[in-house]
Amino acid sequence: MQKKVRVRFAPSPTGGLHLGGVRTALYNYLFARHHGGDFILRIEDTDQNRYVPGAEQYIRDCLDWCGITPDESPSAGGPYGPYRQSERKGLYRSYAEKLLENGHAYMAFDTPAELEEMRIKYKTDDNPSPQYNAVTRKKMRNSESLSAEEVTDLLNKQTPYVIRIRMPDNEEIQFTDMIRGKISFNASQVDDKVLLKADGMPTYHLAVVVDDYLMKITHAFRGEEWLSSSPVHILLWRWLGWEAEMPEWAHLPLILKPDGKGKLSKRDGDRLGFPVFAMDWKDPATGEVAKGFRERGFLPEAFINMLAMLGWNDGSAQEIFTKEELTEKFSIDRVHKAGAKFNYEKAKWFNHEWIKRSSDEWIAGKLIEILNDKKISASPEIVVKVAGLIKERCAFLDELWPNSHFFFETPAVYDLDAIRTKWNEEKKNLFTDWIDRSSAISDWSAPLLEKDFKDFVASRNIKPGDALMPLRIMLAGSKTGPGVFDIAELIGKEETIKRIQSTIGLL
């Protein structure tokens, strides 16, 4: 029988959630849903020095906003909890001790000063940052280099020690990555990583393997930056006797800067003026706020659609996918190997497409929130019509109001200069006479108004454009906006006449 798919998103709560992190979560989620499996959120908080208060709650809120809520997590619980590694602290030591017993790990008593000394002493031009490995190991203070008596003595004196993995001297370690195919590393390229710290807290390397095993994870998808750690993890799976249960790995491509080389960073966002985090993140230490896609006015549907396409496609030219479609189509083997360049204009395009596709009623709901804030009342029927007229013009939700305010309030400013260039007595008479004439129009609807106005303009031998542009400014304040007769219809006869009259008065 095939094992039930179980995948995990395992962030460290160290700050805001970068869009690369959300994409990792999303791919995990889509894979789990596609295969009818479980999606787990595990908080990897073993590095207490990097722990940032509030970051875990923030991660949870981001996932909720994106609609990729985990099945098992610190808050939801589940059969394999706890899901916060700091709360699992007690269970890692026995595994580190098992590795000590079978000779794949050793105790290291070096102080921070001794480690620093080693880095300086063995530094050469060819090796600018010497590592704790097969070469240096013998020169350090550990259970490999010291005699059994010396070790017993140190232990009796309660000397603090860490447990390090004993990387083989020269062994090829291979595995198959679901995206990258066969991967091979020589173990000597990797240092003897610490597995258990002096205070008994595991490091990421030990905890990730133990937890993936205990939580019955079947597939581990994570960022490409973890590829170089994979030999350590593979050896741990092997030496702990669990290799048959090792998850399948996939290392996801990086999200790259729009310009230049390298991974997209928060600094790139600041520099180029776009968000890099899913939601606003306030650094509790500095109070500095990093902008989020949510606050910028992205719809979660557009955000996840855009993220899904940053490194994946279904083989067709389709770009707009609902979450349900993504779930149906997603497969890891169609994730690209190469990094994906982030393109903010494209991100905006996704949002615009999603706003256009939203129902008029949904957009009207957003407009009603704005109107309520401004204490402006309007009939829901009108708001729905306005929504339908303006949604095409809005790439962001915060553009709803600038594109619609004139439906609900008299414009505070008019682009009079644009009217003045061609304003004369003839035009003035045209508008004042049309006001008189329009009082008789009983069906105040856009098509009828349009016909009436255009016929009237033609009867005066005036070019339609020369009359329509001023009319638009009189009603909406500026040259841009939806159809001018739609505006007239929705603001009503009285307000239309009032706006024309008051603008004429200003000219």
User: Which of 33, 137, 164, 222 contacts ligand GLU by CB under 6 A?
Assistant: 222
| Number of helices and strands in the chain (H, E) | 21, 13
- Catalytic (active site) residue 266: yes
Is residue 42 within 8 Å of 211, Cβ to Cβ? yes
Report d(CA 489, CA 449) in Å as an integer: 8
Of 266, 341, 422, 493, the catalytic one is 266
Within residues 472-491, the interface with ligand GLU by CB under 6 A covers none
User: Which of 29, 33, 44, 196 contacts ligand GLU by CB under 6 A?
Assistant: 44
Minimum CB distance to ligand GLU, residue 13 (Å): 9
With CB under 6 A as the contact rule, which of the stretches 4-12, 112-120, 128-136, 190-198 interacts with ligand GLU?
Answer: 4-12
Tokens describing residue 411: 């414009």
CB nearer ligand GLU, residue 217 or residue 390: 217
CA of 265: how far to CAs of 16, 33, 206, 335, 456, in Å? Answer: 12, 29, 28, 21, 59
The two beta strands, 289-290 and 248-252, are unpaired
CB neighbourhood size of 267 (10 A): 10
Is residue 301 within 8 Å of 354, Cβ to Cβ? yes
CB nearer ligand GLU, residue 219 or residue 291: 219
User: Which of 122, 175, 226, 401 contacts ligand GLU by CB under 6 A?
Assistant: 226
Per-position DSSP letters for 370-406, written without gaps between them = HHHHTT----HHHHHHHHHHHGGG-SSGGGTTTTTHH
Is residue 75 within 8 Å of 43, Cβ to Cβ? no
CB nearer ligand GLU, residue 9 or residue 485: 9
Residue with tokens 């393997």: 209
Minimum CB distance to ligand GLU, residue 102 (Å): 24
Minimum CB distance to ligand GLU, residue 21 (Å): 7
CB nearer ligand GLU, residue 16 or residue 470: 16
Helices (H), 401-492: 405-408, 416-420, 425-438, 446-459, 464-476, 484-491
Tokens describing residue 334: 């169609």
CB nearer ligand GLU, residue 222 or residue 405: 222
CB nearer ligand GLU, residue 6 or residue 222: 222
With CB under 6 A as the contact rule, which of the stretches 8-16, 32-40, 190-198, 453-461 interacts with ligand GLU?
Answer: 8-16
Report d(CA 479, CA 470) in Å as an integer: 8
To the nearest 10 degrees (0 to 180), the angle between helices 464-476 and 446-459 is 130
CA of 389: how far to CAs of 196, 287, 400, in Å? Answer: 62, 40, 11
Residue nearest to ligand GLU (CB): 222
User: Which of 7, 10, 371, 400 contacts ligand GLU by CB under 6 A?
Assistant: 10
405 binding ligand GLU? (CB under 6 A): no
Minimum CB distance to ligand GLU, residue 48 (Å): 14
User: Which of 11, 70, 300, 477 contacts ligand GLU by CB under 6 A?
Assistant: 11
CB nearer ligand GLU, residue 24 or residue 142: 24
User: Which of 105, 190, 208, 307 contacts ligand GLU by CB under 6 A?
Assistant: 208
With CB under 6 A as the contact rule, which of the stretches 9-17, 418-426, 428-436, 484-492 interacts with ligand GLU?
Answer: 9-17
Interface ranges with ligand GLU (CB under 6 A): 10-12, 44, 204, 208, 222, 226
Which residues have a catalytic role annotated? Answer: 266
